[in-house]
Amino acid sequence: MNLQKLLYQNITWRGLYYFVLFILNIAIARHFKAELTGWLYYLVSIYAFITLIASVSMEAGIIYFASSKKIDPSTLLNFSVLWVVGVALLVTILFYISKNLFNISVSNEEYLFALVFICGNLLISFLTNLFYANKKFIISNRIGIIINLLLIGAIFFINEKLWFNNEKYIFTYFASYLLQGIILIIVFLRSEGRIKFLLPSSQQLKELFRYCMLAFISNVIMFFVYRVDYWFVHYYRSAEELGNYIQVSKIAQMFFVLPGILAGVVFPVTAGGATNEIHEKLALLSRSLLLVYSIICIFLIAIGYWFFPFVFGASFHSMYVPFVFIIPGILALSALYPLTAYYAGKNKVIVNVTGTVLALIVIIIGDWIFIPFYGINAAALVSSVAYITFHVYVLLYFKNENKSAVTDFYTLRFSDLLKMKSSLFNYLNTSLLR
């Protein structure tokens, strides 16, 4: 299957997945309001950070070594499941130690939420990348779509006077991640048609962890680039401002869905050695993202002041200005995704690591200085500056390495529109004739 067809297939299904996820976010925001929604997603951010640490970016190593055929996918699956079991035991041990020895106030509910969320997300991440390494972009997204649709429907049955109240829904929300991970394991085993009870050799493990550690450093730094401002806003500002800002951040992250989808194809293709004309396609992808997102952002600038409170509820009335301030950063980071995936696939993760470090430095210094006085507006503007810094660094590195013109990533050509139109119609015709 060629690169363009893989791109459109992943765009279709991953796009549907994130669209349903966005609808779920709206439903949760409207039901729980700004303050409780802020608490829920703040808790999710903490669990997501623990998940990131627990994964040590194994998902990056899985897709790289499975795509390059250096380690058998079944062997990687066995090791992944064993890793998740080990993480579950470690989380349980840490819970009892923190509660009984250090008297840290952690409820049984919070422990259970953390356990199912962390283990479920690890399984989803590992299994999704195993499917992606085999150029299968539909299966994991289809399962995620179904589960999130069920979560949306469950909101309408919440009743504080009956058994299924807010607390039960929140548990269902967290438990859905573990359910999705278990289903993915079953589907993968059925698709493989055989079970191999093998683990990676010591040499394979050494290569796997060597690759993962650089990706892990990059992902940890990028996590802070995306979310460290939550902690600054939480510390210096009100709960309502935090709820508004997290929704702005989540909207910004929705813009990164399509670039992430494209990167999900560029990575395994590059890791697999298929790099013919890849430089030209990277520039085309960046130019196309800039065009499409510029149009969307202009539209949201025009309607956002009324649109955000209408969609999320009246308590989200402070979203508009921060969103306008974060738009330059959205455009800069979105156009960068194809390049960061390219360097990850070429085993040059150090380029991405250096860029994220620069961005994180900008965010920490900027947030520390400006958030106490200017609130969430400053948080959004500082994030924009950081994303632009990251973009400039990686693009200049690519330019110097490949002797290509920077303007290739910004100057939209009429031929680009013809190429996109032609490839889209070819994909639709092929899909409809199946």
The DSSP output letter for 71 is S
Evaluate whether residue 433 is within a structural domain.
no
Length of the chain: 434
Beta carbons within 8 Å of 298's beta carbon, 6+ residues apart: none
Evaluate whether residue 434 is within a structural domain.
no
Evaluate whether residue 197 is within a structural domain.
yes
Q: What's the CA gap between 28 and 22, in Å, rounded? A: 10
H helices of 56-107, where? Answer: 58-67, 73-100
Evaluate whether residue 358 is within a structural domain.
yes
- CB atoms under 10 Å from CB of 391, counted, come to 24
Q: What's the CA gap between 99 and 105, in Å, rounded? A: 6
Least Cα distance to 216 among 55, 335, 62, 393 occurs for: 55
Evaluate whether residue 265 is within a structural domain.
yes
Beta carbons within 8 Å of 351's beta carbon, 6+ residues apart: 340, 343, 394, 397
- Domain of 17? 3-428
pLDDT tens by residue, the chain, 434 residues: 455 666 677 778 888 888 899 899 889 888 888 778 888 888 888 888 889 899 988 888 888 788 777 888 888 999 999 999 999 999 888 888 877 666 666 677 878 889 999 999 999 999 998 888 777 778 899 999 999 999 999 998 888 777 888 888 999 999 999 999 999 999 998 887 666 778 888 898 888 888 888 778 888 888 888 888 988 998 898 888 988 998 899 889 888 877 877 776 666 556 555 554 666 777 777 888 888 889 999 999 999 999 999 888 888 888 999 999 999 999 998 888 888 878 877 777 788 889 999 999 999 999 999 999 999 999 999 999 999 999 999 988 888 877 666 666 776 665 555 555 555 445 444 443 44
Domain count, the chain: 1
